[in-house]
Amino acid sequence: MTETSDLLIFWIIVAARFLVPLAIPRFPLPAILAALIIDAADQTIFQQFTNLSLEGYQGYDKALDIYYLTIAYISTLRNWTNLFAFQVSRFLFYWRLVGVVLFELTQLRPLLLIFPNTFEYFFIFYEAVRLRWDPKRMTKRFVIGAAAAIWIFIKLPQEYWIHIAQLDTTDFIKENIFGVPTDTPWGEILATNLWVIPVLVVVVVLILVVARWITRRLPPPDWGLKVAADPIPAAFAEGNEDSDMNTQSERFVNAALIEKVVLI
């Protein structure tokens, strides 16, 4: 019989995975990062703090991934001002969607490597730029380069690690770096490997130095830190008859509306 505490933890995680993504249209970057962290941590939380069976976890996990990625994509229809970046994101989103559907139909894990979730990190990249800079300044070459770098150097290795090699990062570190069983508590590992603390300090310092070096070479920001999405453009709010955006908005039923309804 399932314990009450197990069910409580389960429903807290599920509620978080449903509710947190709803903030993405208003606060794109912090909300999708929170959704990403919850997605990465939920299986570990279930394993460490409950006795729940994780049979069928991959199916429900992929469904909830598509849920929050769909909300992120819908927010690009409203928030993104770089049209070419939006078109790239649209391709990346639907490419992943096709891959997930094929995976659910066939259970062939290599499909998740062929159809990587590049959209998510591309979304994060765009919104990180928008924090201080106008995304319309990004050229087509820069956008394609960013998408390609994310696809090749981040997502392909990650998808291979998770879905092909089926390795767990935490277990890999415990077994191959510290040489202990996977069920060894982290407190015990740190107590017997105090050298880890200065190494972590050095790594953090190096990251800060590299970040500082990069920021000094970036162009001057266009505005102060902008976390929330921009207001609805004046072309919509003021009814500017000369605006192409207003012309599109005059048609109540248009392609964008149909796409949003289908995705929702």
Is 241's pLDDT higher than 50? no
Measured CA angle at 192 (ends 186, 195), to 5 deg: 95
CB count in 10 Å sphere of residue 180: 15
Cα(237)–Cα(250) distance, integer angstroms: 12
Instruction: Name the pTM for this structure.
Output: 0.86
Q: pLDDT per residue over 75-134, tens digit each?
A: 999 899 999 999 999 999 999 999 999 998 998 989 999 999 999 999 999 999 999 999
Measured distance CA(131)–CA(29) in Å, rounded: 9
pLDDT in tens, 156-174: 999 999 888 888 787 788 8
pLDDT tens digits along 130-160: 999 999 999 999 999 999 999 999 999 999 9
